[in-house]
Structure 1
Amino acid sequence: MPRSERSPLLLAGLLATAGAAHFAAPRQFDAIVPKVLPGSARTWTYVSGAAELALAAGLAVPRTRRAAALATAAFFVGVFPANVKMAVDWRHRPAPQRAAALGRLPLQVPLVLWARGVAANAGRS
């Protein structure tokens, strides 16, 4: 399988794993939901998990890949405030946890670029 065909499936796998984790261990995600969002943190945890699973499914299907990849890029931008909240909340934790929380911030950039690249390559085979 050429690299260009593996890339969307790898991204789909990442999203599917993250989406499933929102349902398997929701408490850790509840903690990073920004307080400014209305409703319960658990609702947002489940909504974002379901969104990740839907995006993963869309990326896996060539016909929906481009739209799903663009939506994935937007999703990665949209969840950035949760990563900022985590970094702020974890600023006094032990160094490894602090580093993990801070490391999530710049990681969003390559994830957005990866999703945009999948969108740009969708339909080219």
Structure 2
Amino acid sequence: MRTESSLDLPLLGLAALFLGSGTLHLVRPQVFEAIVPPQLPEPRTVVEVSGVAEIVCGLGLLHPRTRRLAGLASAALLVGVFPANVQMSVDAGRRANRKRTAASAGFFAGTLARLPMQWPMIKVALRAGKGTGA
């Protein structure tokens, strides 16, 4: 039986993904700047703020007292960064079309495969946000 204080594998995995990705956002922001949608100003700032948000959400998911709020914030964050993931796919598709190499086509396919994976992560975050564990 799961309780609010349960820390199961999906929730632990989501926290780990946020902590790893958030850290990478701060250590190597240039990797992420290119996927910031062009409508947003200051890509470096967007990357840094989203990195800090990921770390805060990841840490919040780990503790029962902050898990509910962190779950809701995590779901919102995943929805908020989805346009950047779409932008990555659009850019990768353009590169693959231009270069026509197996590597560029493979990367493009990987970015497309990543998009529907957001939904299970959002579901885990929302369950944590309901206070029922993940």
- Structures share a fold, TM > 0.5? yes
Give the TM-score normalised by structure 2: 0.82
1:12 pairs with 2:22:
no
Provide the rounded CA distance (Å) in 2 between the counterparts of 1:113 and 1:14.
15
Provide the rounded CA distance (Å) in 1 between the counterparts of 2:40 and 2:119.
23
Provide the rounded CA distance (Å) in 2 between the counterparts of 1:32 and 1:84.
8
- Deviation, 1:84, is 0.8
Counterpart in 1 of 2:36? Answer: 33
- Deviation, 1:67, is 0.8
- Deviation, 1:87, is 0.6
- Deviation, 1:8, is 2.6
Q: Which has the greater radius of gyration?
A: 2
Q: Secondary structure at the match of 1:64?
A: helix
Between 1:98-107 and 1:48-57, the stretch displaced more is 98-107
Counterpart in 2 of 1:113? Answer: 123
Unaligned segments of structure 2, at least 5 residues = 97-103
1:37-93 CA-to-partner distances (Å, cap 9, x unmatched) read 12x111111000000001011111110101100110111011010011111111032
1:63 pairs with 2:73:
no
Counterpart in 2 of 1:44? Answer: 46
Q: Secondary structure at the match of 1:5?
A: coil
Provide the rounded CA distance (Å) in 1 between the counterparts of 2:31 and 2:117.
19
Counterpart in 2 of 1:90? Answer: 92
Structure possessing the higher relative contact order (Cα contacts under 8 Å, 6 or more residues apart) = 2
- Deviation, 1:107, is 1.1
Aligned-pair Cα RMSD in Å? 1.7
Between 1:61-70 and 1:100-109, the stretch displaced more is 100-109
Report the number of matched residues: 120
Identity, in percent, stands at 45
- Deviation, 1:117, is 2.0
Unaligned segments of structure 1, at least 5 residues = none
1:101 pairs with 2:111:
yes
Give the TM-score normalised by structure 1: 0.88
